[in-house]
Structure 1
Amino acid sequence: MSATATAPPPSPGAGTTADPTRTPRRTGRPRSRAVPVGVALVAASLPMFMATLDNLVMTTALPVLQVELAASLEQLQWMVNAYTLSFASLMIAAATLGDRWGRRRVFVAGITVFALASVASAMATDAGTLIAARAVQGAGAAAVMPLSLTLLAGAVPAARRAMAIGVWGAVSGLGVALGPVIGGAVVDGIAWQAIFWINVPVAVVAIPLVRRALPESHGHRQPLDLVGLALAGTGVLSTVWAIVRGNDDGWASTRVVGGLLLGTLLLAAFLVRENRTAHPLVPLRLFRVRSFGVANATALLFSVGVFGIVFLLSQYLQVGLGYSPLEAGVRTLPWTAAPMLVAPIAGALAPRVGVRPLLTAGLALQALGLAWQGALVGGDVVYADLVPGLALAGIGMGLTFAPSATAVLADMGADDHGTASSVNATVRELGGALGVAVLVAVFTAADGTLSPTGYTAGLQPAMLAAAAIVGAGALLALLMPRATGRGQAVALH
């Protein structure tokens, strides 16, 4: 459930993602004839769709995995978070390596890693093996996502680039919307393992297509900040692990307090490192721009609230209301599919009215939709009662995506667009991991269990907590400068 702004090239030492509106430097022998735009679109979008789909495709399979792999609620969380944390932590690093070693080369390597990890996931016979395979799968996705748009931009003529980027963005949104539905259909019709096996033929088709249709290119070659990468990755992992363990071990236990303290110290060390190194992963000076800081803060709160509830709601539809995986996936569509209709409207409105009113309204509608559902799930409820809340949340999400993407880049210099876009994508993915950990902690603290009667007890306070978190994002959006985004076009993916 994400929308990321397109990214022009970074300045020396400032970023990792190249400009989709400029043709990157190509290497190797020139092609004898131009590749049709449609072929380039498929080559860039197919792997990206695969990586986007796997963000949510597992959600409707979680109750089945809980039974077949004898997985605990904590293990179910890590099946999702292992992918998300690996994806988020390595995205900027993968883009940097693409700039140095060749974007197409790293892109193909990412597809290969993703496919092999999908095979390992499908063959897993216990929860621990599946969690480990999902972490590797996330590493592959980290190389796919930031490079697909840059490669597409270099493969199509400048006159058709805006159209290609728009189609690419629609495909990304489709992956989000169809993730729970496809996951449910595959689990119902075949088996849970098939949600991973389907990635293999996609990769087999995609790799030669990428090599044929997308030209190799390089960007600014800067050193990779391995120390910063290690500090950030282990800091976030320690923090999430401590939150996940909080209810079981006790929030005052040595392990939980130690994990939170270690995570805090590592993240503080990361900030110190980024402020001093010549080639930071995340240039902290960007956060001095108010529109960028507010956009990332609201994106974090949005992801914490929304991703955590998607994790719980997809299971509630099966465990609490008795739907099959496919039926549950279809019933998420008022929420997950609405942005595909609303986001283009918000994108058209943003240059006229600015980012602030759209972003504030979008987050407020999502908070209202979550609160609506939270107020109902505590008693006797049927699915139809939840539809207005799901629709409100979906409309709000659609209003959020385009303005947020605009705000990330609106007041940035062109040389910083790549870094700004990559940082925002990473913030949202990390927010998703934190959201699953935090809201499941609320669920568990309220005596929620993976049973028809116990699920409702925990879901209501978790849903209301998510509404409060997203509502805080709406209030924070009021700090966005009034003029941000006016007169500027929106570019989404």
Structure 2
Amino acid sequence: MTTLSAKQRLVVAIAVLASFVTFLDGTVVNVALPAISRELGGGISTQQWVVDAYLITLSALILLAGSLSDAFGRVAVMRAGLIAFGVASVAVAAAPDPLVLIIARAGQGAAGALLVPSSLALITATMRGPLQARAIGVWTAFTTAAQLVGPLLGGLFVDFLSWRLVFLINVLPIAVTLFLLWRLPDAAHKRTTRVDWTSGILCAVGLGAVVFALIEQPNWGWSAPAIWVPGVGGAVLLLIFLVRQRTATHPLLPLGLFQLRNFAWGNAATLFIYAALSLNGFVISVYLQQGAGLTATAAGLASLPITLMMIVLSSKAGTWAAKHGPRILMTIGPLLMAIGAALLITVDHDFNYWWQVLPSMIVLGLGLALTVAPLTAAVLGAVEEEHGGIASAINNAISRVAGLLVVAMLSTIVGGRLDLAGFHSAAWFTAALMAAGGVISWIGIRTPRTETVTPTEPTGPTTPIPG
């Protein structure tokens, strides 16, 4: 079996650490939300904004960041993102009130947008085929583990230290990654892509306005001008953004990529699966503390079985996908996760973790481990190396937008309160989203033959790309 070279192992280590920072910070906050609310004030709306401020800038700027990665080089963009993320993390930890905290969280998201596309693009630029699938499997195991171990680390910090220190956990991985990047300087980078800043602004403002309307509408109502004006205006800006991508000389979102079957259907599956994962992570972390009365540490430990399953099986799932194709794993995995989410309806007022939550975590972990690496490999394996940054950015943007929108809709999903009835509603909603992801994968995903593409940079309407 072909093994990774020394340079390839270094690349995987850098990719894992750089992504670890953003994934860890995106989830570690969930268990800190009740403590933040107690100290700084605010109810469910403030909790939503603490999560979504990060996701808004991460989602809105990740396409722009993918274009920057292709234009200026992966290492340079990653280095800038790491430094900015460290500065924003210190600002979050020192925030004196909710407004400053939310602004600093938005800064973290903007910096994080520079990291994820560049990290995966490093892998796709260094290896292809089965070796790439294995590397993505390793990347998936550790970065997804970061998402899942985040609540545990956050819980320990909240219970024994301070919620503020939760946001400084990433200082060490940032320092280590910067050191490793020093050992991997950018090769001479030929700039072939120009950055469409106008499209970036349209996407960022449009998405932010829509999310504002979704989060605040339970407080104001859809008839209030403060809600429907940004809601409609944001939707119009997003529509203009999509129209511009068909005519821009250097589009942020090359629509021709979606003519590739696995790329298009894989991103459709991503939308549903990651919406479910974001909803599930938010609801479990908050409800187990505020509803079931667990400590922050205990709430974080609740998801530990998922972490263990991911670490053990993700790399193997990447290898299986390379050997047998991604379709079957991308179907079975989400359907298993749907079953796991549905098991959470057994949670009752007489709470018992071992019988009501643990079975769900085991099934969710198995399904997630079977899904993520094949999904990532199927999507990114469909494009040529030089466009790996934008392909990774598109897939990550879709996953973040999915989480962003579902958290923004939380009040509607749970009926305004995250009590036991709201928790059950969220469990059913999560299960439905997961099942939809599995069905989409079965319908759309195929075992690739030579499905690669070099997207054109159209001066007019996007032309079909053979695949």
2:312 is the alignment partner of 1:341:
yes
2:59 is the alignment partner of 1:88:
yes
Q: How does 1:213-292 map to 2 (within 5 A)?
A: 213-217=183-187, 218-292=189-263
- The CA distance in 1 between the partners of 2:39 and 2:340, in whole Å, is 33
- The DSSP-based 3-state class of the residue aligned with 1:380 is coil
- The CA distance in 1 between the partners of 2:7 and 2:245, in whole Å, is 42
Q: Structure 2: 5+ residue runs without aligned partners?
A: 452-467
Q: How does 1:49-68 map to 2 (within 5 A)?
A: 49-68=20-39
Whether the 8 Å CA contact 2:338–2:430 is kept in 1: the answer is yes
Whether the 8 Å CA contact 1:352–1:487 is kept in 2: the answer is no
Whether the 8 Å CA contact 2:32–2:155 is kept in 1: the answer is yes
1:468 corresponds to which residue?
432
- The CA distance in 2 between the partners of 1:219 and 1:282, in whole Å, is 21
Alignment-mate amino acid for residue 105 of structure 1: A
2:353 is the alignment partner of 1:398:
no
1:316 corresponds to which residue?
287
- Greater CA deviation, 112-121 or 394-403? 394-403
2:412 corresponds to which residue?
441
2:350 is the alignment partner of 1:380:
yes
Number of matched pairs: 446
- The CA distance in 2 between the partners of 1:346 and 1:210, in whole Å, is 27
- Greater CA deviation, 336-345 or 313-322? 336-345
- Greater CA deviation, 117-126 or 190-199? 190-199
- The DSSP-based 3-state class of the residue aligned with 2:409 is helix
- Greater CA deviation, 318-327 or 191-200? 191-200
The 1:206–1:345 alpha-carbon spacing in structure 2 relative to 1, beyond 3 Å, is closer
Q: How does 1:94-243 map to 2 (within 5 A)?
A: 94-150=65-121, 167-207=138-178, 209-210=179-180, 212-217=182-187, 218-243=189-214
The CA deviation at 1:226 is 1.2
- The DSSP-based 3-state class of the residue aligned with 1:349 is helix
The 1:167–1:386 alpha-carbon spacing in structure 2 relative to 1, beyond 3 Å, is closer
- The CA distance in 2 between the partners of 1:408 and 1:99, in whole Å, is 17
String of CA shifts for 1:40-83, please: whole Å, max 9, x gaps: 66555434322221111111111111101112211111111111
Whether the 8 Å CA contact 1:308–1:437 is kept in 2: the answer is no
Q: How does 1:26-37 map to 2 (within 5 A)?
A: none
The 1:162–1:464 alpha-carbon spacing in structure 2 relative to 1, beyond 3 Å, is closer
The CA deviation at 1:416 is 4.7
2:392 corresponds to which residue?
421
1:48 corresponds to which residue?
19
- Greater CA deviation, 285-294 or 213-222? 213-222
- The DSSP-based 3-state class of the residue aligned with 2:32 is helix
Question: TM-score of the superposition, structure 1-length normalised?
Answer: 0.82
- The CA distance in 1 between the partners of 2:153 and 2:425, in whole Å, is 29
The CA deviation at 1:273 is 0.2
Question: TM-score of the superposition, structure 2-length normalised?
Answer: 0.86
1:478 corresponds to which residue?
442
Whether the 8 Å CA contact 1:406–1:485 is kept in 2: the answer is no
The 1:232–1:195 alpha-carbon spacing in structure 2 relative to 1, beyond 3 Å, is same
String of CA shifts for 1:317-353, please: whole Å, max 9, x gaps: 1112221111111111123442233323332332444
Whether the 8 Å CA contact 1:99–1:219 is kept in 2: the answer is no
Whether the 8 Å CA contact 1:353–1:486 is kept in 2: the answer is no
- The CA distance in 2 between the partners of 1:65 and 1:163, in whole Å, is 39
2:465 corresponds to which residue?
none
1:27 corresponds to which residue?
none
1:3 corresponds to which residue?
none
The 1:169–1:308 alpha-carbon spacing in structure 2 relative to 1, beyond 3 Å, is closer
2:47 corresponds to which residue?
76
Alignment-mate amino acid for residue 462 of structure 1: A
2:423 corresponds to which residue?
459
- The DSSP-based 3-state class of the residue aligned with 1:311 is helix
Could you tell me the percent identity over the aligned residues? 34
Alignment-mate amino acid for residue 94 of structure 1: A
- The CA distance in 2 between the partners of 1:398 and 1:467, in whole Å, is 17
Whether the 8 Å CA contact 2:21–2:170 is kept in 1: the answer is yes
- Greater CA deviation, 191-200 or 68-77? 191-200
The 1:164–1:477 alpha-carbon spacing in structure 2 relative to 1, beyond 3 Å, is closer
Whether the 8 Å CA contact 1:40–1:213 is kept in 2: the answer is no
Whether the 8 Å CA contact 2:18–2:82 is kept in 1: the answer is yes
- The CA distance in 2 between the partners of 1:372 and 1:486, in whole Å, is 38
The CA deviation at 1:460 is 1.4
- The CA distance in 1 between the partners of 2:232 and 2:93, in whole Å, is 36
The CA deviation at 1:383 is 1.1
Q: Structure 1: 5+ residue runs without aligned partners?
A: 1-20, 24-34, 450-454, 489-493
Alignment-mate amino acid for residue 447 of structure 2: T
- The CA distance in 2 between the partners of 1:22 and 1:198, in whole Å, is 30
